[in-house]
Amino acid sequence: MSTLNSNFKYLIILPLIACVSFSCKGAEPDVTPNAPANVATPTYVNVSIATDKAVYKPGDNVIFTIDNSALPATAKVRYKNANTVISEANVTGSTWSWTTPTTDFKGYIAEIYTTVNNVETIYATIGIDVSSDWKKFPRYGFLSKFGILSTDEINGVISNLNRFHINGLQFYDWQNKHQKPLPMSGSVPASSWKDIGNRDIYFSTVEKYINAAHGYNMKAMFYDLVYGAWDNAETDGVDKEWYIYTDNTHTNRDIFALSSPFLSNLNLLDPANSGWQNYMANETKNVYKYLAFDGYHMDQLGDRGTRYKYDGSFMNLSGSFKSYIDAIKAAAPEKYNVMNAVAQYGQQGIATSTSDFLYSEVWSPSDSYNDLVNIIKQNNTMSSNSKNTVLAAYMNYDKANTVGYFNTPSILMTNAVIFAFGGAHLELGEHMLCKEYFPNDNLAMKDDLKQSLVNYYDFLVAYQNLLRNGGTFNTITIASTDNKISLSAWPAAQGKVAVFGKKFDNSQVIHLINFTNSTTQQWRDKNGIQVMPVLVKDTKLLLTSDRTVKNIWIASPDVAGGASRKLNFAQVGNKVSFILPELRYWDMVVIEY
């Protein structure tokens, strides 16, 4: 690191120029520092590893399990927060434990490694979420099939989701009638029933899934519409004055029509009507009485157009959701509530309600990668940065009309964008989601996608404090000095590496997402045409920084299982030069001051 004499006057660097010119009396030295070589990228072996829970409370013990047949006797494990080593130990068997620090809401990564002649080999990595409340960093999954399942089948599904650190599960279409979600047989719950899609649902399966989820510290959320009732719901005590109407003479109800095999249409009710709120509060209490759900996942149908109440007054549907959420919360204050904002409909009120985090189901015209980012930023603003976001964003939508496989690059690129901007993606359950009707499992994951997604979710957990916990998005001044990549400030552009920053008190995070050879800028990639980004290696970068840099480190879900490593750098005045070792989909570079 060196400094410049204050007499030197130099020009502002231009993008993609390899040096900076300046004038002074006498010689004209180059003020652009030469980027020093980096240490070698560690070899990554990718040994199978797991933890016993999806999330831990401060001070809990984490039980690790690893395939130690592939480990040398000299293997060690180190536990890191960001790039700081908390502790390390020898790995002497296939299982061991680690007591988590007592600070709440922190992400860690465990790296199993060896060092030979100053060269590291990474054998395995895994993220660890230490959070006393899942709503801080929600990683939402789903369940959608509740037929007769064995205990082994149920445990297999939940164990798999645990490896992705899924900390909450939406039980989709588990219920019978929407206005009577848990059917009763006398004074006890029925042993089985039909859902609206005419599928058999078993109480014992729902109950076993809840118990299995709790065994991994996952929360279980029951799904239901906030305003749906089957035909002839008056026989269940639903009042005709609670319904929504398409005219101001209460002649025609607002009905979401469904055909066979569905058992009923859905008749819609006013979520802000106190009678309907009290009715559903009682039904919710009945669900909690017999099933140990942790909360209520509330759904809606989006913008219905001009609608009316029974008395003929205009129905402000988008403004009605906050009242409903708050009423349900008041009836069961110890339970969680989250509501789907379909295409952001009603999100303003939802964001200021007692909802525990924000959930957006993404539809056209929000079709570009930048649209995903705008939704996350909108949610941050509407909640005053107090609630994190989960996006229900269904991938390869048209491809899913027939049986096949997900396109791996399109999934990873979309997740890179969502995760880098602090969101999470509802996509994992018994299968991966491709349609808004969750039981649709036409598309399967190939092995490369399965492994890559494990790395991406480990990354989301390990670096959650940089990705999802404060900071301010900002624009940074950075250039490639060897023309290996073409950098462009976010929003994403085809043929470019998109760059954006997030500023903290004593650090600057830089995200680089590689669209160099992308075939589409449509995140959903309906027909699965996205391609893997070209791998770029040893790119020289020049950063403008008005602060003295102490450290630079890098981590990527695409490299060495997300393990972080320091980069060498040189600083001259406000110019900082370093080499980006490799970029596939997404790199995160952290500048520490």
3 state SS of 385: coil
For residue 323, what are its two tokens? Answer: 């009242």
- The whole-number pLDDT of residue 10 equals 28
Calpha distance 409→561 (Å, rounded): 17
Q: State the burial class of residue 368 (Cβ atoms within 10 Å of its Cβ: 0-12, 13-18, 19+).
A: middle
Answer positive or negative: Cα dihedral of 549, 553, 556, 562: negative
Which stretches within 139-238 are classed as H helix?
151-163, 203-215
Which residues lie below 8 Å from residue 140, measured CB to CB, with a gap of 6+? 166, 168, 169, 170, 359, 390, 424, 426
Residue indicated by tokens 């760059």: 499
- The whole-number pLDDT of residue 32 equals 76
Calpha distance 389→424 (Å, rounded): 6
Banded model confidence at residue 16, pLDDT cuts 50, 70, 90: very low
Calpha distance 216→212 (Å, rounded): 7
What's the whole-model pTM score? 0.93
- The whole-number pLDDT of residue 38 equals 84
Peptide bond into 33 cis (omega under 30): no
Which stretches within 359-503 are classed as H helix?
369-382, 408-420, 447-462, 464-467
- 403 CB-side CA count, 13 A: 0
Calpha distance 140→552 (Å, rounded): 32
- The whole-number pLDDT of residue 514 equals 98
Calpha distance 564→535 (Å, rounded): 19
pLDDT in tens, 210-241: 999 999 999 999 999 999 999 999 999 999 99
Calpha distance 348→316 (Å, rounded): 13
pLDDT in tens, 530-569: 999 999 999 999 999 999 999 999 999 999 999 999 999 9
Indicate if the pLDDT at residue 107 is higher than 60: yes
Mean pLDDT of the region 448-464: 98
Where in 144-227 does DSSP place strands (E)? 168-171, 184-185, 188-189, 192-194, 200-202, 219-225
Calpha distance 414→13 (Å, rounded): 32
Q: For residue 440, what is the DSSP state? A: -
Banded model confidence at residue 462, pLDDT cuts 50, 70, 90: very high
For residue 378, what are its two tokens? Answer: 């909108």
Tell which residue, 467, 439, 452, 423, has the closest CA to residue 107: 467
pLDDT in tens, 465-506: 999 999 999 999 999 999 899 999 999 999 999 999 999 999
Contact 256, 304 (CB under 8 A): no
Phi, psi (rounded to 5 degrees) for 403: -75, 135
Q: For residue 316, what is the DSSP state? A: -
Higher pLDDT, 26 or 160: 160
Mean pLDDT of the region 141-154: 97
